[in-house]
Amino acid sequence: MINVTKTFLPPQEEYNAILKRAWDKNWITNRGVLVQELEEKLKQYLGIPHIIATTNGTLPLQIAIKALQLTGEIITTPFSYVATTASIVWEGCRPVFVDIHPNYLTIDETKIEAAITNKTSAILATHVFGNPCHVEAIEAIAKKHHLKVIYDAAHSFGVKYKGKSIFNYGDVSTCSFHATKLFHTGEGGAMFANTEELINTLFYHHNFGHKTQETIQGIGINAKMSELQAAMGLAILPYLETILKERKRVVDYYDNNLDFSKLLKLKIREKTDWNFSYFPILFQSEKQMLKVKAMLNEQDIFPRRYFYPSLNTLSYVNSIDFPISESISTKVLCLPLYHDLKETTILKICKIVNAAV
């Protein structure tokens, strides 16, 4: 079976050797040596000033909303994973959607200002498929209207924009280290901020509000990463360059063998070092997409409809129509993309897709 992704697993003996350090200390959570080492190594690898490792990529979104004390309306994208919208609603705010750019698939920054009201407190946008939002335009709008900015950078591990880690942008950025993501800890994630003050707030929020063992600075939740999760991350780190290189190989092969006269592909923003995290293609119609999906399924190949449905159609939001996001959601398919996907398989996928369109 060929799935849209396949979790990279490090050699088991290497994982065990790292786990042994947790066993030796008899310490498996509460920010032990492995979590701290993972954070240090990620800071170096990514070139970022601060990081807090977390137990998944969803709690950081909720904690960011809490830490920035957001209320009222949050402007967001309808084209993302459901966690982006759900976090806003879970934190008692109202998502206000703004349609997306038809080629970049990120929030259309030119439509943001029209959605701002006196209740707007922030913009929460997704660097979808690792493709950066127009961060400069968003920053300028946020400054002008005194709004906070959160980036759901769940797909963006390793992405650089203008030579800098994409995690440097926004008041808070978050990432997911879920097993389906490019770099993973089984379940896991991280949050990033540029000021000491904000990092401290995020930090106590993620650990029950503790400042020290016996003083509680404020309200908190438990979003700590465990040593068992960190061990997986540490075991994968040495393979990152290989993982990225192999993903590039797959993407190049698709690029060279798919017939783009009748398909649209993701337009990567200028000045971006992309991470080859997903391979979305846009068909001419939902009917055509469903036909190709069924043909691939018949061959035991399982692409995914990332992202469907458009989030403005969720039952728990009140929203108007967003034609671009809704149309793209019905026509998009992410093709299989992972480190050891074979060329023969990619070619088979390309042939099925090309024949159908």
Interaction site with ligand PLP (CB under 6 A): 56-58, 80-81, 83-84, 126, 152, 154-155, 176, 178, 189
Nearer to ligand PLP by Cβ, of 221 and 356: the residue is: 221
Please state, in angstroms and rounded to a whole number, the distance separating the CA atoms of residues 113 and 122.
12
Nearer to ligand PLP by Cβ, of 77 and 330: the residue is: 77
C-beta atoms surrounding 30 within 10 Å: 10
Nearer to ligand PLP by Cβ, of 56 and 120: the residue is: 56
Nearer to ligand PLP by Cβ, of 254 and 278: the residue is: 278
Nearer to ligand PLP by Cβ, of 5 and 84: the residue is: 84
The least distance separating ligand PLP from the CB of residue 7, rounded to whole angstroms, comes to 13
The least distance separating ligand PLP from the CB of residue 88, rounded to whole angstroms, comes to 12
Q: Is 211 helix (H, G, I), strand (E, B) or coil?
A: coil
Nearer to ligand PLP by Cβ, of 46 and 116: the residue is: 46
Nearer to ligand PLP by Cβ, of 155 and 160: the residue is: 155
The least distance separating ligand PLP from the CB of residue 129, rounded to whole angstroms, comes to 9
The least distance separating ligand PLP from the CB of residue 77, rounded to whole angstroms, comes to 9
> What pairs with residue 176 in β-bridges?
189
Nearer to ligand PLP by Cβ, of 182 and 346: the residue is: 182
Q: Where are the beta strands (DSSP E) in 21-119?
A: 52-54, 73-76, 94-97
The least distance separating ligand PLP from the CB of residue 249, rounded to whole angstroms, comes to 23
The least distance separating ligand PLP from the CB of residue 25, rounded to whole angstroms, comes to 26
Nearer to ligand PLP by Cβ, of 79 and 253: the residue is: 79
Nearer to ligand PLP by Cβ, of 207 and 357: the residue is: 207
The least distance separating ligand PLP from the CB of residue 233, rounded to whole angstroms, comes to 13
The least distance separating ligand PLP from the CB of residue 150, rounded to whole angstroms, comes to 11
Residue 304 sits at φ, ψ, to 5 deg, of -125, 150
Question: What does the block give as tokens for 197?
Answer: 């003050």
Q: Of 253, 179, 245, 175, nearest to 6 (Cα)?
A: 179
| Strands, sheet with 164-165, edge to edge from the N-terminal-most edge strand | 164-165, 160-161, 272-273
**In the complex, residue closest to ligand PLP by CB:** 57
C-beta atoms surrounding 355 within 10 Å: 10
**297-301 CB contacts, 8 Å cutoff, 24+ apart:** 299/348, 299/352, 300/1, 300/2, 301/1, 301/2, 301/336, 301/345, 301/348, 301/349, 301/352
Q: Which distant-in-sequence residues (6+ apart) come within 8 Å of 162 by Cβ? A: 271
Q: Is-contact 207 220, C-beta < 8 A?
A: yes
Q: Which value, to the nearest 10 degrees, does the dihedral of the CA atoms of residues 176, 181, 182, 186 take?
A: 80
Please state, in angstroms and rounded to a whole number, the distance separating the CA atoms of residues 45 and 282.
33
Q: DSSP secondary-structure letter at 225?
A: P
Type and span of the H or E element at 193: strand 189-193
Q: Of 302, 298, 300, 292, nearest to 331 (Cα)?
A: 292
The least distance separating ligand PLP from the CB of residue 328, rounded to whole angstroms, comes to 15
The least distance separating ligand PLP from the CB of residue 271, rounded to whole angstroms, comes to 22
Q: DSSP secondary-structure letter at 127?
A: -
